[in-house]
A and B are shown apart, each in its own frame.
Chain A
Amino acid sequence: MEHLELFFKSVFVDNMVFAYFLGMCSYLAVSKKVSTAVGLGAAVIFVLTVTVPLNWFLDQYILQPGALVWLDGNSDTPELSAYYGYDLGFLSFILFIATIATMVQLVEIVVEKFSPALYNSLGIFLPLIAVNCAILGGSLFMQSREIETALLALNFGFSSGIGFFLAIIAIAAIREKIRYSNVPAPLRGLGITFIITGLMAIGFMSFGGMLTAEDEEEVTEETKTAIDIEEKIEIDNETAQAEVSEVKN
């Protein structure tokens, strides 16, 4: 259930492109034809699925405050470890991007060696992907949202990739169609793409209400306690007034 929720949340509610504008550069540059868009989308899914769990392990065992305690075998009693107070969090940017760049290069070499057909369709996009904000963004969001297990991180990477895939295919299809429309000359190309993306993002915002059922319960509980407190104060006031009037009498 947890997995299903995370999946829907990353694909629709927190869509990389429409909610956070990540990967916009390649999204705008490579969305002129559906066939190339499919290639880039698939490459992004692939790389995100590999790098997010990898960076999750780096985050858990190197970067978090006190994460290094496993080094001298004190994982169960972290207070005893010599590495207890270490916090390497500031290194996360450099470690994440290094992992991503090397993974992309590695994937490129492996794919070229074992599957030339796949390389021909994906290969040209792989160097583009090392500097795609969606990839680094995936890892940084994984870190800031404190995703708990490696499996959830894998799920998060994969579903974020799917979200990007959906977005880029949708815009590529629309752009293929819009070529036959009568767009005002200054808006042609880039301008209309921006505006359509904005409209699609507004459409995607309607998914925002889908997964908030639990949050709402929490909210009502909070407001309930707030109301309780207010009532209490009122009652206190009333009793105080009553006391005052009694004293007057």
Chain B
Amino acid sequence: MRLLSKKDSRLILDPLADNNPITIQVLGVCSALAITAQLKPSIVMAISVIFVLGIGNVVISLLRNIIPSKIRIIVQLIIVAALVIMVDQVLKAFAYTLSKELSVFIGLIITNCIIMGRFEAFALGNGPWRSFLDGVGNALGYGVILIIVGFFRELLGSGTLFGFKVLGDSVEKTGLYAIGYENNGFMVLPPMALIVVGIIIWVQRSRNKELIEEH
């Protein structure tokens, strides 16, 4: 027997490309862009969102028949906030410098539109297992974009990956720098995150013409 039925595996795979939360649904851009100057915080952020969205979707799905629809937004926010506090405390305990670096952006996972969007659109109407898959799938789709952006910004901006000097030493002029390559300091600045995402959207939509918007 296969682990996932075909329908279930679509729940995970769709958001990775053709229904990506960031580039197609435009959800969760808020806290995504500011922390992608380097690869490591991007990955930590992606893992945090996978955790919060996966568990949160299950909890909401279990409670979906009990929550009164009028106050559901507050209930959802409280559940997310509790999960995010857990993530925040774990990061503070085991990766203090990184949690300082991410500063308020871990807290802003609470208002990450992906999370509320998936709660509203999926978890309120589906069972726990499918909601879990949907949550993990969407968070992965979010994480993929984050990691792509983080990869290019760190590589082109500071010539490193995870802090390792993969392109050689820029001060002592070794590796690529020996033949005159220079870091593009612009990539480290926040606005470039937006432009990199714009380019990702461009590439994706030129490969898949169905996604093109009218205006």
Contact = CB atoms under 8 A, between A and B. Distances in A.
B194 A201 contact: yes
Contact of A90 (B88, B194, B205): B88
B193 A21 contact: yes
A140 B88 CA distance: 14
A97 B111 CA distance: 9
Interface in A105-138: 105, 127, 130-137
B205 A24 contact: no
Contacts of B125: none
A135 B209 CA distance: 36
Interface bracket on B? 35 or more
Interface in B192-215: 192-195, 197-199, 201-206, 209, 212-215
A28 B43 CA distance: 24
Contacts of A29: 26
A80 B89 CA distance: 29
Nearest to A98: B78
A229 interface: no
Contacts of B133: none
A141 B191 contact: no
A190 interface: yes
Interface residues of A, number: 50
A61 B101 CA distance: 27
Interface string B106-129: 011011110010000000000000
Given A24-B29, A127-B73, A136-B108, A93 B191 contact: no
Contacts of B178: none
Interface stretch (B11-19, B30-38, B59-67, B152-160): B30-38
A144 B198 contact: no
A186 B113 contact: no
B48 interface: no
B108 A199 contact: no
Nearest to A104: B73
Contacts of B108: 22, 133, 136-137, 140
A189 interface: yes
A192 to B, nearest CB: 7
A158 interface: no
Contacts, number: 147
A216 to B, nearest CB: 20
A240 interface: no
A150 interface: no
Nearest to B30: A133
Interface stretch (B1-9, B79-87, B164-172): B79-87
A contact patch SS: helix
Contact of B81 (A25, A93, A205): A93
A81 interface: no
A188 B29 contact: no
Contact of A98 (B77, B84, B192, B194): B77
B28 interface: yes
A18 B82 CA distance: 29
A94 interface: yes
A191 interface: yes
B198 A191 contact: yes
Contacts of A131: 73, 77, 111, 113, 116
A43 B103 CA distance: 26
A28 B198 CA distance: 13
Contacts of B204: 186
Contact of A191 (B81, B116, B192, B202): B202
A199 B186 CA distance: 12
16 contacts: A90-B85, A91-B85, A93-B110, A97-B111, A98-B78, A127-B73, A130-B77, A133-B112, A187-B202, A190-B201, A190-B213, A191-B198, A191-B205, A194-B195, A199-B195, A205-B189
Interface of B: 23, 26-34, 73-74, 77-78, 81-82, 84-85, 88-89, 103-104, 107-108, 110-113, 116, 189-195, 197-199, 201-206, 209, 212-215
Given A98-B78, A127-B73, A186-B209, 7 more contacts: A25-B113, A98-B81, A130-B73, A140-B107, A184-B202, A187-B201, A194-B195
User: Which 8 pairs from chain A and chain B are nearest by CB?
Assistant: A189-B213, A198-B194, A186-B205, A201-B191, A194-B198, A133-B30, A195-B198, A198-B195
